[in-house]
Amino acid sequence: MNSVVRVFLVRLSKTISLSAFVLLSIAGCQKSKLPDGDPDQGGLALADGFEAVVVADSIGKARHIAVSDDGFIYVKLRRPHLGTYGNVALRDTTGDGKADDIQYFGTYPSRGTLANGMTIHNGYLYYSSELVLYRQKLTPGRLVPDTPVDTVLIDDHEHGTHWHITKPVAFDDQGNMYVPFGSPSNACQDLSNSPGGKPGVAGLDPCPELELHGGIWQFKADKLNLRQKDGIKYATGIRSVVGLRWNAADGELYAMMHGRDDLFMLFPNLYSRWQSAVLPAEELLRVQKGADYGWPYCYFDQMQDKLVLAPEYGGDGKITGRCEQCDPPLMGFPGHWAPNDLLFYQGDQFPSRYREGVFITFHGSTNRAPYPQAGYFVCFVPFQNGNPTGDWEVFADGFAEVDTIVSTSDAKYRPMGLAEGPDGSLYVTDSRNGKIWRIMFKGDRATFDDQDLASMEERKSRSNLRTPDEIEDDLQRDKDQGMALNYNLYCAPCHQRNGEGAGGRFPPLTDAQWLGNKERLVDIVLQGLSGEISVHGEGFNNIMPSFSFLSDATITEILTYVRSSFGNDLPKIDIQDVEAGREKAL
């Protein structure tokens, strides 16, 4: 080797070494910029190498979340703060991971309590009430947008007591916007003749709801003041969607569909209470143009791994029938876990196995009685080339802070929204107390493997994650007596065993305004109740089905139990009160 070549190689070696040193130093600086996790990880259980810091607490009932390139955090609130502001903006100015600048903004109308949707697209912050999608231009370096509020989309249907009208939004890379229009019923029953409570009611066939609901619509993203008629029905057979995302890795739209409820209550001759608690699946959908995912005619059974015919259309839990022609989900999760957001991870802070995989927040069940309520965790599903490459995993747990969740109100926190920060941190919101966690990876990405996940895999045996044993996990077994038996059978799935209900969905049974008047109380049970109401100052806008199919004696027992339980001390209901109410209703 001549001297010229030798000198060149030495200099090249030094240059490479210096470059490597610089890159390692930059990587180290980036890692060191991550704040310390809380000593207790914010109460969360995480895999080895992960840490969590509580960014903020008690900011209001937090729903979806977005994080800007500046690291500014934007959160959609379920109800307006102080009755005025629907959003909150947060930032950490000291680098300790804690938000020290918290400002509320957004004075738009927000009907009811089901407002969702917060995302950033092309420099705009998008957020929604139940019926309207708005946007504001973000100004780099400015936390709270002070630009005009544009009205993007108005849902102008006469919804009345529509259950599933939230407006999450997603954008593709071709200038299109996607918005779901959910459906109000379990399976398109004829609610005008049987208000949802009578067992065995058949579904309408064909289902008229599918014309304008039960699907996802596509719109041009550069238009304002849109109505549903300005878009096209992109996919159908989708009952209810709260989590909706475009996956840039494979150029496809994804959604988490909430499954239907009340299999046992509506078809006790076909389903047990155990089946009703664990079925049907919550579905991960790759939403493709022209696809039909089966609702209301079909539901997905994750244990049989197939779509089966709904009982409203002649199904018995096994028959597939017309469902063979529908598009199945990518994956089915246990019933009633309430998937409220999903996010495809694009960062490189986490170990490489998380890259392009999907995180899912399971908000937690309300209607699994008499079995433990379940969900209440953040899930991860590894992905490659647009398909899951393994089973679902427990990514973050411990939100509920109790192992056996008997009633929804037992859970201290309920995970809701997901966002990825510019440094690859994962942000999670809580819808109950308004807490925000930032989850970071501080371990060795190169050596992270299944050993580090072992503790999370073990958590699948906990009551909020395992499939309950039909006998041993029945919380009512050998406990219910007398009047409590029928209350827990017919009422607890919504109002919960402790009578505290589920915030925003089912009201508590502790308000004398609703319980004190015997005649009105009997009318509600016999005729049902719809429309927006207020209980203890909280708004509810749902359907209370008629329970007129119950005998007068059973209704008498249930209402007497309610009026003498949950802290109530009201006189009993007499069977004559129920008889008079039934005669008046005829």
- The strand order across the sheet containing 101-105 reads 62-67, 73-81, 85-91, 101-105
Q: What is the pLDDT, as a whole number, of residue 195?
A: 46
What would the two tokens of residue 542 be?
A: 């749902």
- The vertex-250 CA angle with 244 and 252, nearest 5°, equals 35
431, 77 Cβ separation under 8 angstroms: no
Extents of the domains making up the chain: 41-461, 483-585
- The vertex-297 CA angle with 294 and 301, nearest 5°, equals 70
Q: How far apart are CA 579 and CA 250, in angstroms?
A: 61
Q: Provide the 8-state DSSP code for 472.
A: T
Q: How far apart are CA 243 and CA 418, in angstroms?
A: 10
Q: Residue 440, by phi and psi: left (phi above 0), alpha (psi -120 to 50) or beta? A: beta
79, 110 Cβ separation under 8 angstroms: yes
End-to-end CA distance of the chain: 106
Q: How far apart are CA 201 and CA 194, in angstroms?
A: 7
Q: How far is CA 291 from the centre of its chain?
A: 23
Express each pLDDT in 38-61 by its tens digit: 999 999 999 999 999 999 999 999
Other CB atoms within a 10 A radius of the CB of residue 155 amount to: 20
Q: How far apart are CA 465 and CA 224, in angstroms?
A: 43
Express each pLDDT in 381-426 by its tens digit: 999 888 999 999 999 999 999 999 999 999 999 999 999 999 999 9
Task: For domain 483-585, give the CATH number.
Answer: 1.10.760.10
Dihedral in degrees, nearest 10, Cα atoms 23, 356, 376, 112: 110
pTM: 0.88
* DSSP labels, 159-188: -SS-S------EE-SSSEEEEEE--SSSS-
141 CB-side CA count, 13 A: 0
Q: Provide the 8-state DSSP code for 483.
A: H
Other CB atoms within a 10 A radius of the CB of residue 471 amount to: 8
Q: How far apart are CA 540 and CA 112, in angstroms?
A: 6
Query: Which residue in 353, 368, 162 sits closest to 265, CA to CA?
Result: 368
Q: How far apart are CA 131 and CA 136, in angstroms?
A: 17
Q: How far is CA 19 from CA 5, 125, 233, 557, in A?
A: 21, 39, 53, 79
pLDDT in tens, the chain (586 residues): 444 444 444 344 444 443 433 333 333 344 558 999 999 999 999 999 999 999 999 999 999 999 999 999 999 998 888 878 999 999 999 999 999 999 999 988 755 455 789 999 999 999 998 889 999 999 999 999 999 999 999 998 876 545 678 899 999 999 999 999 998 888 998 755 544 456 788 999 999 999 999 999 999 999 999 999 999 999 999 999 999 999 999 999 999 999 999 899 889 899 999 999 999 999 999 999 999 999 999 999 999 999 999 999 999 999 999 999 999 999 999 999 999 999 999 999 999 999 999 999 999 999 898 999 999 999 999 998 889 999 999 999 999 999 999 999 999 999 999 999 999 999 999 999 999 999 999 999 999 999 999 999 999 999 999 999 999 999 988 776 677 888 888 888 889 888 888 776 788 988 878 888 888 898 888 888 877 788 887 777 777 778 888 888 888 888 888 888 888 988 888 989 888 888 887 7
Other CB atoms within a 10 A radius of the CB of residue 93 amount to: 10
Q: What is the pLDDT, as a whole number, of residue 32?
A: 54
Task: For domain 41-461, give the CATH number.
Answer: 2.120.10.30
Q: How far is CA 419 from the centre of its chain?
A: 14
222, 175 Cβ separation under 8 angstroms: yes
What would the two tokens of residue 230 be?
A: 């300005």
392 CB-side CA count, 13 A: 24
Residue 266 in 3-state DSSP?
Answer: helix
79, 539 Cβ separation under 8 angstroms: yes
